[in-house]
């Protein structure tokens, strides 16, 4: 009987670790070192900061925790009706959680803003700057975003660490307005955010994989 109880405990612990490490739904982005940002040809079209946002989904204790950031400012560079470059400045202090229950708002939200994660008081902004745009022609749709038509690479600067991220996206234009939609997974530890990323923590383990979703619209 005692052996059976021990075995069940081991199995339960294993299931807990597996469930905690479940990746959020999204494409796998490739990450490399910072790239040179060349001057893109075209005119500047400002981002509509009221309609645009950067979403995220973190995973811990077997449950996904979604949220979002507001965009402080941004622009697309447009040439002959096509986006050739651009950048967005992300307001880290605007972090909001979709989960409105008090336990998340009173505990998780300030913890994410603390030095354990984003350290919002010290690093109030993050930046994404496009380094290249290429037609996406392999015929394989994104896991989340349908009809993807571009492969975007850009430098993501977070907590003064800059890495180049490449992901597929859907780019649309209509009547002089432009939009970019994407959903991809990255390893947060590459930007120095390592809190809780130790599977020996068991039910307190927090996955290194974070999903980032972009919904960017121009004015």
Burial (CB count <10 Å: 0-12, 13-18, 19+), residue 34: middle
Residue 91 structural domain: 2-217
Whether 198 has a pLDDT exceeding 90, the answer reads: no
SS3 166: strand
**pLDDT for 10:** 37
Helices (H), the chain: 2-20, 102-103, 109-113
Could you tell me the CATH number of the domain that includes residue 79? 2.40.128.110
Q: SS3 of 205, please?
A: coil
Q: What is the pTM of this model?
A: 0.85
- Reported as a pLDDT band with limits 50, 70 and 90, residue 16 is very low
What pLDDT shows up at residue 202? 67
Contact between 23 and 189 (Cβ < 8 Å)? no
Least confident stretch, 121-125, 139-143, 147-151, 200-204: 139-143
Query: What is the domain count for the chain?
Result: 1
Q: Band of the pLDDT at 4, cuts 50, 70, 90?
A: very low
User: Quick one: average pLDDT of 115-125?
Assistant: 97
At 204 the pLDDT is: 73
Neighbours of 147 (CB within 10 A): 11
Q: Which residues pair with 7 in a beta bridge?
A: none
Report the C-alpha gap between 24 and 64 in whole angstroms. 7
């Amino acid at each position: 009987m005692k052996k059976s109880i021990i075995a069940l405990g081991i199995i339960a612990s294993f299931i807990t670790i597996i469930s905690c490490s479940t990746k959020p739904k999204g494409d796998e982005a490739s990450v490399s070192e910072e790239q040179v940002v060349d001057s893109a040809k075209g005119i500047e079209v400002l981002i509509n900061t009221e309609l645009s946002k950067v979403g995220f989904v973190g995973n811990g204790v077997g449950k996904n925790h979604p949220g979002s950031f507001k965009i402080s400012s941004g622009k697309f560079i447009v040439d002959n009706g096509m986006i050739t470059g651009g950048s967005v400045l992300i307001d880290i202090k605007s972090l909001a959680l979709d989960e409105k229950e008090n336990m998340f708002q009173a505990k998780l939200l300030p913890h994410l803003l603390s030095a354990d994660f984003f350290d919002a008081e010290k690093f109030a902004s993050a930046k994404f700057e496009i380094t290249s745009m290429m037609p996406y022609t392999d015929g394989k749709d994104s896991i989340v975003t349908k009809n993807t038509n571009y492969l975007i690479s850009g430098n993501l600067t977070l907590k003064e660490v800059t890495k180049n991220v490449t992901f597929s996206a859907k780019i649309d234009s209509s009547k002089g307005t432009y939009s970019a939609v994407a959903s991809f997974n990255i390893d947060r530890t590459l930007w120095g955010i390592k809190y809780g990323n130790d599977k020996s923590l068991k039910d307190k383990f927090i996955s290194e994989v974070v999903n980032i979703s972009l919904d960017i619209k121009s004015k």
